[in-house]
């Protein structure tokens, strides 16, 4: 559900602002409106530093996973560790670039052998110049006789299909114009470059030790980054107030949960130089939204957050779409064995108490459990049909019935969820705007349910209620009046009639498309089940008929095949029910998105 909020308008003396905001931050439950805030130079610098701390945390996590990386002695403070990290990180990147360049130079120089650059210089002083060349070995073989006849040529090395050679010439003479790549005269030998490479690697090791100390100080760096975030938030709030009376009065707007009303009021009452007004938010206010759901619906907030949180004053749909999402996820997986895998993964995550993954682990267990139940309904366990394993006859018949009607079950799920969404739409509109504003949706809901009952009741043997019965026609008339003439209480009934006709066309075509969207559940379930059967058949047909070897090969094929199928099924089962929730369900339920999420003004360690 959406947490109820109080709206506060605060007027305080400008000299008391800093002291008051410190107390407000200490309380940590009031969300201060900061619309229109533009960061100054100091705040922009803080933003850069905060982003730098986030980048440092990501690099620390990466370095911890690096093989051979060693932690060092932590620094005394987070600020010192972060500053050393910035220097060390920059030096490490620079050194890695230099090392890569030097390694390439070592490789290039190695073909010329061990020589002294000074000797080349002395030869040049005596009028003898060496020109260095390289060309493909096959081209050199064809031209070697001609070049040797015209020049003094010496082959130095052959490597990777390339011949490296020098031509001796007199000083002042141009370099021989031959069909080969001339190489710049080496200024150093390979031994010198290797020594330089060793020196660079030694420097890299020193700076990696510094990084080791920084990574060991990760918690200190995180705390320092949180302190900077607090400073930025404090500065942002302090510069968000509107100045009145030539800047002597500061006007702030804040929001706090009704549950914290006593604590907030006590703080405000105790503050001198302060006037405040408290009121209930209206639908026109941009009230920040916080959600509070129970043990079942809470994990499904993760799904809803992919779209948006509901607008304040409307209905939180989390608890209402959660059962459908579980059902649709199990429908898409369609295998009890796969569902058990998801449940065990969630249970493992929950038992390991992985930081930040508590709700995710619970969500995975809910979805895995739903997949197990649905898999038992259709009789599939890792692609094996339970009907082939000698189950009781009643269970065999039940599985057969479910599989035969799976297409219609998918459509039925869609019809039920859409009708449920329309009911919620009526309730939601009534809560937010008043009952009379829900007449249009209510009329359409009455017509839809009436037609559905008129179609289904005769099929199950209930007589006296059909499309031609007076009761059915009377209900249709009531729905038509609501939908066509009373769909907007602020307009003329004739205008409503024209608008209602257009809405009828949109509703009819939209409903058909919405219901047909649920066919995807049947298709995804069918494809995943078919692939599971295929991998089982492959394991049986491809494994050689050799004891032990056959079992090992079958296990490898089954593990690989079902692993791929579980992964692909999980993607489909996660995305497609989400689409049905956000498009079909949210649309028909009249979902409105919030523009703000409740972000209380508090210190980071309390968030």
Residue 325 has pLDDT above 90, yes or no: yes
pLDDT reported for residue 366: 93
pLDDT reported for residue 328: 92
pLDDT reported for residue 526: 83
Alpha helices, DSSP H, located in 334-438: 336-352, 358-378, 393-404, 406-432
CB 378 within 8 A of CB 334: yes
H or E element, residue 579: helix 549-579
d(CA 320, CA 294): 12
Higher pLDDT, 485 or 193: 193
Mean pLDDT of the chain: 83
Q: Which residues contact 274 (CB under 8 A, 6 or more apart)?
A: 10, 11, 12, 13, 16, 20, 268
Closest to 63 in 3D by CA, of 214, 167, 178? 214
Higher pLDDT, 331 or 548: 331
pLDDT reported for residue 479: 77
pLDDT reported for residue 365: 92
| Least confident residue range of 25-34, 70-79, 396-405, 516-525 | 25-34
Per-residue pLDDT averaged across 532-548, rounded?
79
d(CA 324, CA 26): 41
Per-residue pLDDT averaged across 63-90, rounded?
87
pLDDT reported for residue 282: 82
Residue 472 has phi, psi (to 5 degrees) of -65, -45
d(CA 445, CA 480): 10
pLDDT digits (tens, 9 = 90+) for 103-147: 888 887 878 777 777 787 788 778 888 888 888 888 888 888 888
pLDDT reported for residue 35: 65
Looking at the whole model, is its pTM more than 0.85? no
| Least confident residue range of 72-81, 400-409, 476-485, 529-538 | 476-485
Per-residue pLDDT averaged across 247-264, rounded?
81
pLDDT digits (tens, 9 = 90+) for 198-236: 998 898 888 888 888 888 888 888 888 888 887 787 777
d(CA 590, CA 592): 6
Percent over 90 (pLDDT), the chain? 5
pLDDT reported for residue 326: 92
CA 294 to chain centre: 24
Q: What is the DSSP letter of 163?
A: E
CA 43 to chain centre: 28
Q: Which two tokens stand for residue 369?
A: 């459990």
Per-residue pLDDT averaged across 260-268, rounded?
86
Residue extents of the structural domains in the chain: 37-98+195-238, 116-185, 298-441+486-588
β 128-136/274-279 pair status: unpaired
| Least confident residue range of 88-97, 153-162, 341-350, 500-509 | 500-509
d(CA 477, CA 493): 16
pLDDT digits (tens, 9 = 90+) for 514-525: 788 888 888 888
pLDDT digits (tens, 9 = 90+) for 329-384: 998 888 888 899 999 999 998 888 877 788 898 999 999 999 999 888 888 888 88
pLDDT reported for residue 55: 87
Per-residue pLDDT averaged across 586-590, rounded?
86
Give the orientation angle of helix 493-517 with respect to helix 439-456, to 10 degrees: 50
pLDDT digits (tens, 9 = 90+) for 10-59: 887 667 677 787 888 888 888 887 766 677 777 788 888 888 888 888 88
pLDDT reported for residue 37: 66
CB atoms within 10 A of CB 99: 16
pLDDT digits (tens, 9 = 90+) for 430-477: 887 778 777 777 877 887 887 777 777 777 766 767 767 787 778 778
Closest to 485 in 3D by CA, of 473, 474, 472, 498? 498
pLDDT reported for residue 241: 61
Q: Which two tokens stand for residue 444?
A: 């359409």
Residue 605 has pLDDT above 70, yes or no: no
pLDDT reported for residue 606: 43
Percent over 70 (pLDDT), the chain? 92
Per-residue pLDDT averaged across 279-303, rounded?
87
CB atoms within 10 A of CB 171: 11
pLDDT reported for residue 607: 41
């Amino acid at each position: 559900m959406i947490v109820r909020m109080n709206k506060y308008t605060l007027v305080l003396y400008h000299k008391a602002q800093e002291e008051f905001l410190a107390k407000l931050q200490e309380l940590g439950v009031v969300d201060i409106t900061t619309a229109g805030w533009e960061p100054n130079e100091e705040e922009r610098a803080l933003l850069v530093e905060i982003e730098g701390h986030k980048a440092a945390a990501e690099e620390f996590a990466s370095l911890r996973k690096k093989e051979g990386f060693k932690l060092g002695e932590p620094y005394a403070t987070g600020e010192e560790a972060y500053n050393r990290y910035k220097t060390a990180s920059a030096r490490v990147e620079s050194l890695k670039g230099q090392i890569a360049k030097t390694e390439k130079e070592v490789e290039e120089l190695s073909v010329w052998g061990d020589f002294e650059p000074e000797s080349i210089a002395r030869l040049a002083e005596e009028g003898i110049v060496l020109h260095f060349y390289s060309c493909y070995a096959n081209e050199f073989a064809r031209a070697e006789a001609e070049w040797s006849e015209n020049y003094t040529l010496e082959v130095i090395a052959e490597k990777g299909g390339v011949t490296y050679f020098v031509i001796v010439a007199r000083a002042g003479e141009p370099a021989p114009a031959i069909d080969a790549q001339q190489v710049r005269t080496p200024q150093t030998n390979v031994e010198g470059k290797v020594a330089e490479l060793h020196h660079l690697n030694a420097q890299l090791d020193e700076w990696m030790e510094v990084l080791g100390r920084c990574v060991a100080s990760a918690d200190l760096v995180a705390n320092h980054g949180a302190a900077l975030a607090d400073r930025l938030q404090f500065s942002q709030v302090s510069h968000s107030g509107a100045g009145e009376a030539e800047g002597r009065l500061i006007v702030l707007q804040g929001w706090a949960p009704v549950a914290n009303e006593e604590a907030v009021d006590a703080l405000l009452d105790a503050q001198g130089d302060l006037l405040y007004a408290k009121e209930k938010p209206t639908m026109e206010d941009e009230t920040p939204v916080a959600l509070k759901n129970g043990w079942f619906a809470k994990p499904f907030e993760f799904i809803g957050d992919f779209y948006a949180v509901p607008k304040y004053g409307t209905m939180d749909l989390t608890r209402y779409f959660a059962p459908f999402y579980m059902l649709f996820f199990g429908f898409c997986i369609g295998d009890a064995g796969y569902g058990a895998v998801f449940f065990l993964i969630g249970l493992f995550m929950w038992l390991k108490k992985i930081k930040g993954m508590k709700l995710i682990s619970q969500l995975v267990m809910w979805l895995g459990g739903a997949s197990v139940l649905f898999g038992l309904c259709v009789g599939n366990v890792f692609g094996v049909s339970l009907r082939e394993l000698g189950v009781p006859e009643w269970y065999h018949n039940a599985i057969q019935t479910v599989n035969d009607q799976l297409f219609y079950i998918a459509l039925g799920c869609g019809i039920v969820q859409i009708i449920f969404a329309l009911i919620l739409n009526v309730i939601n509109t009534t809560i937010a705007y008043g009952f009379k504003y829900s007449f249009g949706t209510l009329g359409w809901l009455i017509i839809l349910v009436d037609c559905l009952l008129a179609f289904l009741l005769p099929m199950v043997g209930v007589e006296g209620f059909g499309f031609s019965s007076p009761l059915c026609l009377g209900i249709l008339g009531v729905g038509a009046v609501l939908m066509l003439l009373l769909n907007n209480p602020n307009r003329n009934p004739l205008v409503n009639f024209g608008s209602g006709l257009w809405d009828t066309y949109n509703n009819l075509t939209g409903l058909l498309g919405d219901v047909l969207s649920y066919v995807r559940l049947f298709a995804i379930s069918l494809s995943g089940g078919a692939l599971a059967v295929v991998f089982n058949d492959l394991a049986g047909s491809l494994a050689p008929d050799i004891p032990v070897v056959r079992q090992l090969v079958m296990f490898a094929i089954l593990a690989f095949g079902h692993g791929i199928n579980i992964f692909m099924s999980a993607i489909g089962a996660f995305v497609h029910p989400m689409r049905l929730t956000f498009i079909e369900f949210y649309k028909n339920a009249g979902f409105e998105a919030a523009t703000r999420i409740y972000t209380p003004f508090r210190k980071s360690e309390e968030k």
